[in-house]
Amino acid sequence: MLNWLFIIFATMVIVPALLVATNRNPVNAAMNMIVSFVGLAAMFVLLETYLLAILQVLVYAGAIVVLFLFIIMLIDAEHAPRPKVLTYAASLVALAILSFGVIGLVNRSMEQGGFADISVDAPAASAYAFGVELFTRHILPFQIAGFMLLIAMIGVIVICRRELDATGTEETRS
Amino acid sequence: MSIGLSHYLIVAGLLFSIGAFGVLLRRNALIVLMCLELMLAASILGLVAFSRFNATTEHALMAGPVFVLFIIAIAACEVAVGLAIIVTLWRRRQTVELNELNALKN
Protein backbone atom coordinates (compact mmCIF):
# COMPACT_ATOMS: atom_id res chain seq x y z
CA MET A 1 0.00 0.00 0.00
CA LEU A 2 2.71 2.43 1.04
CA ASN A 3 4.70 1.45 -2.02
CA TRP A 4 1.83 2.34 -4.31
CA LEU A 5 1.38 5.66 -2.52
CA PHE A 6 5.08 6.40 -2.95
CA ILE A 7 4.95 5.61 -6.66
CA ILE A 8 1.85 7.77 -7.17
CA PHE A 9 3.35 10.72 -5.32
CA ALA A 10 6.71 10.36 -7.05
CA THR A 11 4.96 10.58 -10.44
CA MET A 12 2.99 13.52 -9.11
CA VAL A 13 6.29 15.28 -8.33
CA ILE A 14 8.28 14.37 -11.43
CA VAL A 15 5.79 14.69 -14.31
CA PRO A 16 4.51 18.21 -13.51
CA ALA A 17 8.12 19.29 -12.92
CA LEU A 18 8.92 18.21 -16.48
CA LEU A 19 5.91 20.17 -17.69
CA VAL A 20 7.15 23.26 -15.79
CA ALA A 21 10.43 23.01 -17.63
CA THR A 22 8.92 22.49 -21.08
CA ASN A 23 5.52 24.24 -21.12
CA ARG A 24 5.57 27.41 -23.19
CA ASN A 25 2.71 29.11 -21.37
CA PRO A 26 3.94 30.62 -18.06
CA VAL A 27 0.52 30.27 -16.39
CA ASN A 28 0.44 26.53 -17.13
CA ALA A 29 3.97 26.25 -15.80
CA ALA A 30 2.94 27.89 -12.51
CA MET A 31 -0.10 25.60 -12.20
CA ASN A 32 2.07 22.54 -12.78
CA MET A 33 4.43 23.82 -10.12
CA ILE A 34 1.53 23.75 -7.61
CA VAL A 35 0.86 20.07 -8.39
CA SER A 36 4.55 19.26 -8.06
CA PHE A 37 4.81 20.98 -4.68
CA VAL A 38 1.67 19.29 -3.35
CA GLY A 39 3.19 15.95 -4.37
CA LEU A 40 6.35 16.92 -2.49
CA ALA A 41 4.26 17.72 0.59
CA ALA A 42 2.71 14.26 0.29
CA MET A 43 6.21 12.76 0.28
CA PHE A 44 6.94 14.68 3.50
CA VAL A 45 3.82 13.08 4.99
CA LEU A 46 5.16 9.66 3.94
CA LEU A 47 8.38 10.61 5.77
CA GLU A 48 6.26 11.52 8.83
CA THR A 49 7.41 15.15 8.87
CA TYR A 50 3.95 16.62 9.07
CA LEU A 51 4.83 20.19 10.00
CA LEU A 52 7.09 20.56 6.97
CA ALA A 53 4.35 19.14 4.75
CA ILE A 54 1.95 21.82 5.97
CA LEU A 55 4.60 24.52 5.54
CA GLN A 56 5.36 23.27 2.05
CA VAL A 57 1.73 23.67 1.01
CA LEU A 58 1.31 27.02 2.77
CA VAL A 59 4.55 28.71 1.71
CA TYR A 60 5.41 27.12 -1.62
CA ALA A 61 2.11 26.10 -3.17
CA GLY A 62 0.34 29.02 -1.53
CA ALA A 63 2.48 32.10 -1.29
CA ILE A 64 5.26 31.61 -3.81
CA VAL A 65 3.16 30.30 -6.69
CA VAL A 66 0.55 33.04 -6.13
CA LEU A 67 3.38 35.58 -6.29
CA PHE A 68 4.48 34.06 -9.58
CA LEU A 69 0.93 34.25 -10.95
CA PHE A 70 0.66 37.90 -9.92
CA ILE A 71 3.86 38.77 -11.74
CA ILE A 72 2.79 36.82 -14.84
CA MET A 73 -0.42 38.88 -14.81
CA LEU A 74 1.51 42.12 -14.27
CA ILE A 75 4.02 41.77 -17.06
CA ASP A 76 1.52 39.92 -19.24
CA ALA A 77 3.93 37.29 -20.49
CA GLU A 78 2.97 35.85 -23.83
CA HIS A 79 3.73 32.40 -25.22
CA ALA A 80 7.45 31.91 -25.24
CA PRO A 81 9.02 31.19 -28.61
CA ARG A 82 10.00 27.59 -29.22
CA PRO A 83 13.59 26.95 -28.08
CA LYS A 84 16.20 26.21 -30.71
CA VAL A 85 16.72 22.54 -31.54
CA LEU A 86 20.37 22.77 -30.52
CA THR A 87 19.47 24.22 -27.11
CA TYR A 88 16.86 21.48 -26.67
CA ALA A 89 19.33 18.73 -27.56
CA ALA A 90 22.07 20.11 -25.32
CA SER A 91 19.67 20.51 -22.37
CA LEU A 92 18.36 16.97 -22.87
CA VAL A 93 21.91 15.65 -22.85
CA ALA A 94 22.57 17.52 -19.60
CA LEU A 95 19.34 16.10 -18.13
CA ALA A 96 20.34 12.55 -19.14
CA ILE A 97 23.84 12.91 -17.69
CA LEU A 98 22.56 14.32 -14.40
CA SER A 99 19.81 11.70 -13.98
CA PHE A 100 22.00 8.73 -14.81
CA GLY A 101 24.70 10.18 -12.56
CA VAL A 102 22.27 10.40 -9.65
CA ILE A 103 20.84 6.92 -10.21
CA GLY A 104 24.30 5.44 -10.65
CA LEU A 105 25.56 7.12 -7.47
CA VAL A 106 22.62 5.80 -5.43
CA ASN A 107 23.01 2.29 -6.89
CA ARG A 108 26.72 2.31 -6.13
CA SER A 109 26.20 3.26 -2.51
CA MET A 110 23.48 0.57 -2.30
CA GLU A 111 26.03 -2.03 -3.37
CA GLN A 112 28.55 -0.80 -0.81
CA GLY A 113 26.51 -1.58 2.28
CA GLY A 114 23.38 0.35 1.51
CA PHE A 115 21.53 2.97 3.50
CA ALA A 116 20.07 2.95 6.97
CA ASP A 117 16.63 1.45 7.34
CA ILE A 118 13.90 3.42 8.99
CA SER A 119 14.31 2.55 12.66
CA VAL A 120 12.03 4.52 14.94
CA ASP A 121 8.38 5.35 15.02
CA ALA A 122 8.63 9.01 14.05
CA PRO A 123 10.97 10.49 16.69
CA ALA A 124 8.71 13.46 17.09
CA ALA A 125 9.28 15.79 14.17
CA SER A 126 6.23 17.45 15.68
CA ALA A 127 5.57 21.15 16.07
CA TYR A 128 6.61 20.84 19.72
CA ALA A 129 10.01 19.39 18.84
CA PHE A 130 10.45 22.08 16.19
CA GLY A 131 9.69 24.82 18.70
CA VAL A 132 12.10 23.50 21.32
CA GLU A 133 14.85 23.10 18.76
CA LEU A 134 14.27 26.52 17.17
CA PHE A 135 14.23 28.45 20.43
CA THR A 136 17.15 26.69 22.11
CA ARG A 137 19.88 25.46 19.85
CA HIS A 138 19.03 27.39 16.69
CA ILE A 139 17.94 30.70 18.18
CA LEU A 140 20.65 32.75 16.41
CA PRO A 141 19.92 31.41 12.91
CA PHE A 142 16.25 31.93 13.66
CA GLN A 143 16.84 35.61 14.42
CA ILE A 144 19.04 35.97 11.35
CA ALA A 145 16.32 34.43 9.18
CA GLY A 146 13.89 36.99 10.56
CA PHE A 147 16.25 39.84 9.69
CA MET A 148 16.77 38.27 6.29
CA LEU A 149 13.02 38.51 5.62
CA LEU A 150 13.03 42.15 6.72
CA ILE A 151 16.01 42.95 4.51
CA ALA A 152 14.34 41.24 1.54
CA MET A 153 11.17 43.26 2.13
CA ILE A 154 13.06 46.57 2.22
CA GLY A 155 15.14 45.53 -0.78
CA VAL A 156 12.04 44.76 -2.84
CA ILE A 157 10.54 48.15 -1.97
CA VAL A 158 13.75 49.92 -2.97
CA ILE A 159 14.08 47.97 -6.23
CA CYS A 160 10.49 48.62 -7.33
CA ARG A 161 10.32 52.28 -6.27
CA ARG A 162 9.72 55.01 -8.81
CA GLU A 163 11.76 58.11 -8.07
CA LEU A 164 10.06 61.43 -7.49
CA ASP A 165 11.58 64.54 -9.00
CA ALA A 166 11.68 67.95 -7.30
CA THR A 167 8.09 68.86 -8.12
CA GLY A 168 6.80 65.63 -6.65
CA THR A 169 5.57 64.12 -9.87
CA GLU A 170 6.45 60.57 -10.71
CA GLU A 171 9.35 60.01 -13.00
CA THR A 172 10.63 56.63 -14.02
CA ARG A 173 14.33 56.22 -13.84
CA SER A 174 15.90 55.87 -17.26
CA MET B 1 10.14 -4.27 -2.39
CA SER B 2 9.89 -1.75 0.38
CA ILE B 3 10.52 1.93 -0.07
CA GLY B 4 13.94 2.87 1.29
CA LEU B 5 16.09 5.94 1.46
CA SER B 6 17.47 5.26 -2.01
CA HIS B 7 14.07 5.74 -3.65
CA TYR B 8 13.61 9.13 -2.04
CA LEU B 9 17.12 10.11 -3.09
CA ILE B 10 16.41 9.09 -6.67
CA VAL B 11 13.22 11.19 -6.72
CA ALA B 12 15.11 14.16 -5.26
CA GLY B 13 17.94 13.73 -7.77
CA LEU B 14 15.53 13.51 -10.71
CA LEU B 15 13.69 16.62 -9.54
CA PHE B 16 17.00 18.47 -9.27
CA SER B 17 18.03 17.32 -12.76
CA ILE B 18 14.72 18.49 -14.20
CA GLY B 19 15.22 21.88 -12.55
CA ALA B 20 18.69 22.20 -14.06
CA PHE B 21 17.27 21.08 -17.41
CA GLY B 22 14.69 23.87 -17.27
CA VAL B 23 17.28 26.47 -16.34
CA LEU B 24 19.39 25.45 -19.32
CA LEU B 25 16.49 25.13 -21.75
CA ARG B 26 14.29 28.15 -21.14
CA ARG B 27 15.05 31.77 -21.97
CA ASN B 28 12.16 33.30 -20.02
CA ALA B 29 13.42 34.75 -16.73
CA LEU B 30 10.20 33.81 -14.91
CA ILE B 31 10.43 30.14 -15.90
CA VAL B 32 14.12 30.07 -15.02
CA LEU B 33 13.19 31.30 -11.53
CA MET B 34 10.49 28.60 -11.27
CA CYS B 35 13.01 25.91 -12.20
CA LEU B 36 15.40 27.26 -9.55
CA GLU B 37 12.57 26.77 -7.05
CA LEU B 38 12.21 23.17 -8.21
CA MET B 39 15.92 22.60 -7.55
CA LEU B 40 15.59 24.05 -4.04
CA ALA B 41 12.60 21.80 -3.37
CA ALA B 42 14.61 18.77 -4.48
CA SER B 43 17.37 19.59 -2.00
CA ILE B 44 14.74 19.93 0.72
CA LEU B 45 13.41 16.45 -0.04
CA GLY B 46 16.91 15.01 0.23
CA LEU B 47 17.52 16.63 3.61
CA VAL B 48 14.21 15.46 5.08
CA ALA B 49 14.70 11.90 3.79
CA PHE B 50 18.21 11.62 5.22
CA SER B 51 17.23 12.99 8.61
CA ARG B 52 14.17 10.73 8.84
CA PHE B 53 15.99 7.55 7.89
CA ASN B 54 19.03 8.12 10.09
CA ALA B 55 17.13 9.18 13.21
CA THR B 56 17.28 6.94 16.26
CA THR B 57 15.42 7.14 19.54
CA GLU B 58 18.40 8.82 21.25
CA HIS B 59 19.16 11.26 18.45
CA ALA B 60 16.02 12.54 16.80
CA LEU B 61 18.18 14.46 14.27
CA MET B 62 16.07 17.59 14.31
CA ALA B 63 18.81 19.60 12.59
CA GLY B 64 17.65 18.42 9.15
CA PRO B 65 14.02 19.56 9.37
CA VAL B 66 15.05 22.79 11.11
CA PHE B 67 17.49 23.47 8.29
CA VAL B 68 14.66 22.86 5.83
CA LEU B 69 12.61 25.45 7.68
CA PHE B 70 15.36 28.01 7.10
CA ILE B 71 15.67 27.01 3.46
CA ILE B 72 11.95 27.66 2.98
CA ALA B 73 12.31 31.12 4.56
CA ILE B 74 15.31 31.99 2.38
CA ALA B 75 13.52 30.66 -0.73
CA ALA B 76 10.63 33.03 -0.02
CA CYS B 77 13.10 35.95 0.21
CA GLU B 78 14.79 34.86 -2.99
CA VAL B 79 11.54 34.69 -4.94
CA ALA B 80 10.41 38.10 -3.69
CA VAL B 81 13.65 39.81 -4.66
CA GLY B 82 13.92 37.94 -7.97
CA LEU B 83 10.40 38.84 -9.01
CA ALA B 84 11.00 42.49 -8.04
CA ILE B 85 14.03 42.51 -10.32
CA ILE B 86 11.97 40.96 -13.13
CA VAL B 87 9.25 43.60 -12.72
CA THR B 88 11.83 46.40 -12.84
CA LEU B 89 13.37 44.79 -15.91
CA TRP B 90 9.98 44.68 -17.60
CA ARG B 91 9.35 48.32 -16.82
CA ARG B 92 12.60 49.48 -18.37
CA ARG B 93 13.14 47.07 -21.24
CA GLN B 94 9.67 45.63 -21.91
CA THR B 95 11.08 42.12 -22.07
CA VAL B 96 11.95 39.21 -19.80
CA GLU B 97 13.62 37.13 -22.49
CA LEU B 98 17.19 36.52 -21.39
CA ASN B 99 18.42 36.47 -25.01
CA GLU B 100 17.38 40.07 -25.53
CA LEU B 101 19.18 41.37 -22.45
CA ASN B 102 22.55 41.75 -24.11
CA ALA B 103 23.38 45.41 -23.50
CA LEU B 104 26.76 44.47 -22.03
CA LYS B 105 27.69 42.14 -24.89
CA ASN B 106 30.43 43.23 -27.32
CB-based contact A80 B31, cutoff 8 Å: yes
User: What's the pLDDT tens digit per position in A149-161?
Assistant: 999 999 999 988 8
Average pLDDT, chain A: 85
Identify the pLDDT of residue A37. Answer: 94
pLDDT at B65 over 90: no
Q: Give the pLDDT band of residue A174 (cuts 50, 70, 90).
A: very low
- Could you tell me if residue B106 is inside a domain? no
Residue A107: its H or E element: helix A85-111
Q: Is B94 left (phi over 0), alpha (psi -120 to 50) or beta?
A: left
pLDDT tens sequence across A6-48:
999 999 999 999 999 998 888 999 999 999 999 999 999 988 8
Closest residue on chain A to B2 (Cα):
A3
The answer to whether the CB atoms of A98 and B4 lie below 8 A apart is no
Q: Is residue B56 part of a domain?
A: yes
Domain containing B46 — which CATH number?
Answer: 1.10.287.3510
Q: Provide the pLDDT for residue A107.
A: 87
Number of domains in chain B: 1
What is the extent of the structural domain holding B87? Answer: 5-100
For residue B105, is it within any domain? no
Please check the confidence at residue A121 and state whether its pLDDT lies above 70. Answer: no
For the ranges A20-24, A83-87, A111-115, B8-12, which has the lowest average pLDDT?
Answer: A111-115
pLDDT of residue A165: 61
Alpha-carbon gap: A167 to the closest alpha carbon of chain B (Å): 22
Residue B103's region, left for phi above 0, alpha for psi from -120 to 50, else beta, is alpha
Within a domain: residue B87?
Answer: yes
For chain B, what is the radius of gyration of the CA atoms? Answer: 18
